[in-house]
């Protein structure tokens, strides 16, 4: 008689886009080479009286002193997820002001269709001091509900000079689909009885089911085990899913995009695996023992 499989799920309570959008440049005239109809300022940018449009050797860039901003509003699509913001920048004697944001910076705000801020203030690229031309970049998540990005080359309420060139915002990732995580190359799940630690006597047997389990952080959103394709990842057992535990789950991208699927925010999570019961155990009673459960466990 062959071995049979026992599906096991456990809930533990503890303390659409187009591929061609990837790489799409969103900033208009980020090189500042193109002039507006007046010929006196770069096209596509707001322009204060205390900004300078500088030309040298066939190149053009902008120069800002003592509280000035040059900006534009970028329309966003709902299937865009991550953008990379970059610029060439040079600072001369930029002082740190009274507030943390009183400096030179590439200011950003995500907004809805009415102009209201969406999400927290982004941790933008910013500078003080003096340094030569250099290129810096950073990747940002577009928060859910954001329709526009307000972008400004700025120096806020402080003294000094900052210069910008080659300002760029590119789409680098589309919002992920709701799907399960794929195992990395070379990682194999061993749920067969022969691979597990076992102890046998003439009347009883013991099978250790530690190892790699399927893991779903959104325990509170499901009264029964979530279906396949709903964002299952993988997590080693025994381990904690909380940050700082030293064990990182194998996660689908959707965990980063959806707050309910972020392990750090989850007090309830699902674990699931199959257990191959050895053939000699047919007809025996089976007991499941779970050690070191933090608070409570329900087995399905």
Confidence (pLDDT) at 15: 40
| Cα pseudo-dihedral 133, 168, 258, 242, rounded to 10 | -10
Q: Looking at the DSSP assignment, which residues form a beta bridge with residue 174?
A: 80
Q: Domains for the chain: give ranges and CATH numbers.
A: 4-16+178-299 (no CATH), 20-174 (2.60.120.260)
Query: What per-residue confidence (pLDDT) applies to 6?
Result: 53
Residue 103 CA: distances (Å) to CA of 66, 88, 126 = 10, 16, 7
First vs last C-alpha separation in the chain: 26
Q: Are strands 268-277 and 4-13 parallel, antiparallel or unpaired?
A: antiparallel
pLDDT at residue 8, rounded to an integer: 58
**Residue-level pLDDT at 10:** 57
Closest CA to 33 of 71, 52, 61, 63: 61
Q: Is the peptide bond before 238 cis (omega within 30 degrees of 0)?
A: yes
74-100 pLDDT, tens digit each: 999 999 999 999 999 999 999 999 999
pLDDT digits (tens, 9 = 90+) for 205-256: 999 999 999 999 987 778 888 999 999 999 999 988 888 788 889 999 888 8
> What is the rounded distance in angstroms from the CA atom of residue 269 to the CA atom of residue 207?
24
pLDDT tens over the chain, length 300 residues: 344 445 556 555 544 445 568 889 999 999 999 999 999 999 999 999 889 999 999 999 999 998 999 999 999 999 999 999 999 999 999 999 999 999 999 999 999 999 999 999 999 999 999 999 999 999 999 998 999 999 999 999 999 999 999 999 999 999 888 899 999 999 999 998 888 898 988 888 999 999 999 999 987 778 888 999 999 999 999 988 888 788 889 999 888 888 778 888 888 889 999 998 888 888 889 998 888 777 777 777
pLDDT of 293: 78
3-state helix, strand, coil in the chain (%, to 5): 5, 40, 50
Phi-psi region of 194 (alpha: psi -120 to 50; beta: other; left: phi over 0): alpha
Read off φ and ψ for residue 261, nearest 5 degrees. Answer: -105, 10
Residue 260 backbone class (left: φ over 0; alpha: ψ -120 to 50; beta: rest): alpha
Question: What is the predicted pLDDT for the residue at 1?
Answer: 37
pLDDT of the residue at 241: 87
Reported pTM? 0.72
Residue of 149, 148, 141, 145 lying closest to 174 (CA atoms) = 141
């Amino acid at each position: 008689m062959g071995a049979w499989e026992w599906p096991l799920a456990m809930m533990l309570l503890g303390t659409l886009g187009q591929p061609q959008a990837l790489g799409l440049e969103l900033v208009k005239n980020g090189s500042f080479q193109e002039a507006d109809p007046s010929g006196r300022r770069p096209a596509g940018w707001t322009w204060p009286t205390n900004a300078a449009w500088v030309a040298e050797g066939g190149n053009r860039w902008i120069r800002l002193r003592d509280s000035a901003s040059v900006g534009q509003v970028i329309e966003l699509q709902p299937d865009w997820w991550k953008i990379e913001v970059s610029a060439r920048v040079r600072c001369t004697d930029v002082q740190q002001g009274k507030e943390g944001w009183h400096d030179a910076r590439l200011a950003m705000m995500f907004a809805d269709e009415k102009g209201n801020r969406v999400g927290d203030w982004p941790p933008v690229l910013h500078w003080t001091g003096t340094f030569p031309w250099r290129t810096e970049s950073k990747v940002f998540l577009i928060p859910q509900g954001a329709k526009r990005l307000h972008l400004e080359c700025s120096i806020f309420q402080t003294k000094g000079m900052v210069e910008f060139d080659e300002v760029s915002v590119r789409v680098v990732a589309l919002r992920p689909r709701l799907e399960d995580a794929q195992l990395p190359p070379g990682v194999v799940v061993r749920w067969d009885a022969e691979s597990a630690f076992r102890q046998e006597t003439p009347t009883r047997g013991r099978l250790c089911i530690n190892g790699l389990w399927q893991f779903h952080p959104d325990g509170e959103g499901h009264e029964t085990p979530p279906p396949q394709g709903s964002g299952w990842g993988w997590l080693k057992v025994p381990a904690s899913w909380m940050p700082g535990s030293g064990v990182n789950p194998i996660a689908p991208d959707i965990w980063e995009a959806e707050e309910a699927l972020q392990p750090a925010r989850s007090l309830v999570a699902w674990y699931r695996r199959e257990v191959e019961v050895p053939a000699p155990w047919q007809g025996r009673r089976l007991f499941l023992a779970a050690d070191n459960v933090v608070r409570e466990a329900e087995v399905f």
